[in-house]
Amino acid sequence: MIRVRFAPSPTGSLHVGGARTALFNWLFVQHARLKGEEAAFILRVEDTDKERSTDEYTQVILDGMSWLGLSWDEGPFFQAEGLARHQADADRLVAEGKAYVDDGAIRFRITPEEVAWEDSVHDRVVFHGKDLEDFVILRADRTPVYNFAVVSDDGHMRVTHVFRGDDHISNTPKQILLYRALGREPPVFGHVPMILGTDGKKLSKRHGATAVADYQHEGILPQAMVNFLALLGWSPGHDRELFFDIGEMIEAFSFDGVQGKAAVFDPKKLEWMNAEHMRALGARKLLGLLGDGLGALPPSRAEELVAAVLPRSRTTLDVVRQARQRAGLDPVALDEKAAAFIAKDPAAYRRALKLVAESTEKVTDWSATVLESELRRLAAENGMKAGELMQPVRIALTGSTVSEPVNELLVVVGRHAARAKLVAAAS
């Protein structure tokens, strides 16, 4: 039976790197099941750092995994609950001469043997015992260090595969030696690549949001986040980037496709992917995921607005903001480009709006087709290019230089509301 674990430390939020590790473990288990194998995904909270571990961080991690849809089969278990076992394992090594007491602590005795393993990502990795030094496994206060606790826990939980970040490669030879000393078979190891920012440096807060919860609150869909995380170091082949069906991702996943080189976290690509996932859902399904941001509107009106703004939105926050603005729930706020457009020629801006406001007063059929014809007629009549007339309308109604076609925008905003905004902006 395949048994893998994800073992976060509750000393902070669930960050991108940890979430990617959890996802790879989860996908590995789901793929194994798809192929008819028995497999389990174990969640173990490594809370032995009592000074920094908190219940709040534990809950944040659990919530983040639930939001991503990464359900676990066993756990959560807490590493601190295994203290008696950690101590018993260390004492046994002392009794067998494989470890010794040093100033109150217990130190593991290194033997000069070769330590090698076939890594699921990096192929064969070799260390030599002569290059390692005896190391502490149990502190003087009888608490275990990381390298020893995880070996004791993984052996106890019968973990068969350990997939984690490649910053743990240097820990692996020590852990393999501990497995051998305890008379246990080491698991299969796979070390996934580091995640870098777009500047090529290790991902950190200076690159922006690094916690999964931040992206949840910034309007990223969980399925888009999963899609993005999966491709940080894994390639399904055939240059495929989008998975709208998690079942297809599970079927395609294999550690054969996990690359050893560092992956790059590109926020713009995440937003692009999120936009694709939103459009794949469509306005009606997406509306059900937007919370109460449009709750004041009738469902049919809300859906109409979402459909209108969806093609040019990258996050759910974008959708809500633009839809509320078009519905008149929020005032129009000029962005930088829109403000610059007006500043070039304020008089021309107001003149264009006045022309459209006066002309559309006579329009009885407030449809996209009729409005487009009217706007083009009006531009030609006044010796103007169509854009010179339409761009001011777009800015007055949205505060932006980018939107759906202006004739469609007028329809979405509505006759009375649109004309009122044009008149106000022209004054």
Distance CA 172, CA 117 (A): 9
Chain centroid to CA 139: how far?
A: 37
Distance CA 218, CA 215 (A): 5
Write the pLDDT tens digit of every residue in 293-333: 898 899 999 999 999 999 999 999 999 999 999 999 999 99
Secondary structure of 75-113 in HEC code, one letter for each residue: EEEEHHHHHHHHHHHHHHHHHCCCEEEECCEEEECCCCC
Check if the beta carbon of residue 360 is closer than 8 Å to that of residue 345.
no
Percentages (nearest 5) of helix, strand, coil residues in the chain: 55, 15, 35
Distance CA 318, CA 279 (A): 13
CATH 1.10.10.350 in the chain, residue ranges: 336-426
What string of DSSP letters covers 137-188? EE-TTSPBPHHHHHHHHHHHTT--EEEEEGGGGGGHHHHHHHHHHTT-PPPE
Phi, psi of 161 (to 5 degrees): -135, 135
CATH 3.40.50.620 in the chain, residue ranges: 2-195
**Second-level CATH architecture of 2-195:** 3-Layer(aba) Sandwich (3.40)
Residue with tokens 């015992």: 129
From first to last of its 427 residues, the chain has per-residue pLDDT tens of 999 999 998 888 899 999 999 999 999 999 999 999 999 999 999 987 777 888 899 999 999 999 999 999 999 999 999 999 999 999 999 999 999 999 999 999 998 888 999 999 999 999 987 888 999 999 999 999 999 999 999 999 999 999 999 999 999 999 999 999 999 999 999 999 999 988 888 877 666 667 898 999 999 999 999 999 999 999 998 899 999 999 999 999 999 999 989 999 999 999 999 999 999 999 999 999 998 889 889 999 999 999 999 999 999 999 999 999 999 999 999 999 999 999 999 999 999 999 999 999 989 999 999 999 999 999 999 999 999 999 999 999 999 999 999 999 999 999 999 999 999 999 8
Check if the beta carbon of residue 306 is closer than 8 Å to that of residue 323.
yes
Cis, bond preceding 222 (omega within 30 deg of 0)? no
75, HSE (Cβ side, Cα atoms, 13 Å): 27
Domain 336-426 has CATH 1.20.1250.20: no
Distance CA 155, CA 142 (A): 20
Phi, psi of 98 (to 5 degrees): -95, -10
Bridge partners of residue 202, in order along the sequence: 196
Residue with tokens 């064969």: 124
Cα 187 to Cα 174, 243, 278, 390: the distances in Å are: 13, 30, 40, 65
